[in-house]
Structure formats: C-alpha cells, structure tokens
Amino acid sequence: MTQKGSMKPVKKSKAEEPELEPLCCCEYIDRNGEKNHVAACLCDCQDLDEGCDRWITCKSVQPETCERIMDTISDRLRIPWLRGAKKVNISIVPPLILLPIFLRVASWHFLLGVVVLTSLPVLALWYYYLTHRRKEQTLFFLSLGLFSLGYMYYVFLQEVVPKGHVGPTQLALLTCGLFLILLALYRAKKNPGYLRNPASNDRSLGSSQIECLNRKGQEKSKGFLGTDTSGSLNNRTLKDDLKGSSRVLAGSPTKVKEDWCAKCQLVRPARAWHCRICGICVRRMDHHCVWINSCVGESNHQAFILALSIFLLTSVYGITLTLDTICRDRSVFTALFYCPGVYANYSSALCFTCVWYSVIITAGMAYIFLIQLINISYNVTEREVQQALRQKTGRRLLCGLIVDTGHLTW
C-alpha cells in the first residue's frame, strides 16, 4: 500500500512537468522569455521604429531609447547553431567589417592613408575611454587584435609571398611566431588569480586567522545556531571578525596587510585589488587589459609579458620582410618613410598601408611592454602606480615613464 501511495505523486509530478519543445537551429529564447526566430530580427521593434521616425524628422533621440535599441540589437544578433541560435557579442563585429574597408581605402592614395591611419588610433582611444568610464567589459579590442593578426597574415600570404622574395624558412618562422602569440594569449586569458570567498571554503584562510576567528566566535555567539561543532561562524559574524583580524594582521611583525572586500565578501591578501570591470578580486592585480578582456594578475602576468615579447619580435620580423619585398633597394628604416612608386601598384600600396598599421600597433604594444618592464624592475604594479598618482604620493621621473611610489614593496 505504501509503495503504491508513494508512486502516485511521482507520476503526477512527472505528468505536470511541461515538456520543452526542442529548438531548431534558427530559433532562440529572447530576453523576454519568448521563442523567436532569426528571420524575424527586424520585426516588432517599437524602439527602433521610434528612433527611425525621430531621425527622419530631424528630432533628437533620447539616450534611453538608444540603449533599448542597442539591447534589442544585441539580443537579436544571433547565428544559427545546433539546438538553438547562439548570441553574438555585438562588440566583435565592427573590427571584422571596418578594418579591411579602412585599410583598402587607405591604399588608394597617400593622403587617404594619412587620414585613415591617423583616425584609427583616435577612434580606438575614444571607444576605450567610453567603455572604461562605464566600467563595462567589451570584446572589441580582443576582436581587433586577433583579427588584425589574421588579416595581416592573410595580406602577407596573398600579396608579399607571391612576389618570390620570401623563402620557405622565413615564412615558417613568421608562422611559428603567429602560433606562439596565440598560445601565449590563450595562457594569458586564463585565470589571473581570482580570489574565492572564504565563507564557502575555510581553507583559503590561514591557520592562525581561523583560530582567532573561532575564539572570537565562541565568545560572541555562545548558544547561537550559526556555529557548528567545528566552531565556524555564520556569514555576518565572519564579516565582522575578518575586519578585525585584518587590522590585527596589519599590525603584526610580518606586516602582512589584508583588507576586507565588501563586494566579494572576503579578506584580500596584500597587493590584491578588486576589479570593477570583472567584478572580482585578483591576487597581485596589475591592471585590467582590454586586449585580452581580462585582468593581469599573479597567475597570468608572466604569460602576458611573454605574449607581448613574442608579438613584438614577430611583428618587427614581418614588417622587415614586407619592406624588403616592396622596396628592394632601400634599408628598412628608409623604406618606411620614403618608398617611391609604392602607390603605383595597388598590391604594393596595400602592403605598405598594412606595414604602417602594424607599426602603429607595434609602437603601442612596445610602450606597454616598456612600462611593464619598468614596473617589474621597481617591484610595483600598475595599480599601485596609479593609486600613488591619485593620492599624490608618487613622483614622475624620466618624462613620466618611471613613477616613484615613495616606498618599495618586496
């Protein structure tokens, strides 16, 4: 009898569960929880209709309307995939479309090349400060970097190699350098050293700190249900005691400075910071790098430096091979500024434009690499340098390349 009675509600619950219909490759569940189709991406968009009407009638569009339009576009921009269409981040699309167009337009004439190659860094910096001010994550720079690598390699294979001045060994070295860059970027993209919440794992706390917290918890919460047989505390008591323990440890002879992060609800060790873009604390955080869309911290700092160094070597080598091919009778430095007849042929003009684009990107990466080497030699992080400048405790030396933070951190 009991077995039959126990089986009835199980059958009833299974019958009550709604069966979800499988999605085809072009269907998806939108942000409103409704089933939609990729082909209907331009249908039933009142915000877009309102924005177009106001634009046609020369009326201003409200910022709220623009945000709703961008949210709708980002939700409906999808590609067909198995078991439902996959959402595509809209920030990765502009580099894929605009970069080839800009570079090919810049190859038409010398003046167009000057205008385009000058405007590209300005637009990139404008977009960086726009997203940095909003504290938003973006895949724009990661997409720009990866697509730039791929497109420069494609132009090299299509325009430079067929001219017959690049040998198989040189091409193999350049290809090997490209793959090493991708491997180093993959390693740098991994966990930079995220801090876990000690409330879920007490092993992240030191043994002396746990004993201090347990002793305080037993004195403050006798008979309280938040403590178990091992003497662990509830979340609220843990927060208060971790604050007190950080003050005790800060004044200890070892001078280990720890701080309580209210957002992550954990005790940060020395030199750890909370990234407002990633929304998590990182061990020995250096900075948030938009080129990898991740923080640079304790676990991936070496891979980040390795990726920069390999990129600089590979880029300089590719630039040298290209200039030696399109300007045979001149040195590399001279051909970069004076290469007569390069715009007479569209193929040579495109290669020369890509060379200058690579030079601009390489110069920016070289500056970042130089700052990193200086900070490493002084044993400071970029986050500590910026904090010292904001608090006016640091001094700029050597045209701002070196910042004396006022103390050494060993």
In which band, very low, low, confident or very high, does the pLDDT at 353 lie, cut at 50, 70 and 90?
A: very high
Lowest mean pLDDT among 189-193, 208-212, 307-311, 328-332: 208-212
Residue spans per domain, the chain: 27-88, 91-191+299-379, 259-296
Which residues are marked as active site?
A: 289
pLDDT tens digits, 231-261? 443 444 344 444 444 433 444 433 334 578 8
In the chain, the amino acid numbered 154 is Y
State residue 241's pLDDT score: 41
Q: Which of 38-52, 54-68, 376-390 has the highest mean pLDDT?
A: 376-390
User: What are the angstrom distances between the C-alpha of 241 and each of 42, 226, 238, 244, 382?
Assistant: 55, 14, 5, 5, 31
State residue 10's pLDDT score: 47
Chain centroid, CA 376 distance in Å: 22
- Vertex 351 angle, CA 349 and 352, to 5°: 65
In which band, very low, low, confident or very high, does the pLDDT at 395 lie, cut at 50, 70 and 90?
A: low
- Looking up tokens 């309580």 gives 260
State residue 108's pLDDT score: 93
DSSP 8-state code for residue 90: G
In which band, very low, low, confident or very high, does the pLDDT at 200 lie, cut at 50, 70 and 90?
A: low
Mean pLDDT of the chain: 77
What interhelical angle do 140-155 and 346-377 show, nearest 10? 130
pLDDT > 60? residue 75? yes
User: Pick the residue with more confidence: 296 or 208?
Assistant: 296
pLDDT > 70? residue 86? yes
pLDDT > 60? residue 409? no
| Torsion angles phi and psi, residue 266, rounded to 5 | -155, 165
b (16+ CB within 10 A) / e for 88-97: eebbbeebee
Counts for the chain of helices (H) and strands (E), in that order: 13, 12
pLDDT tens digits, 125-157? 888 888 777 777 888 999 999 999 999 999 999
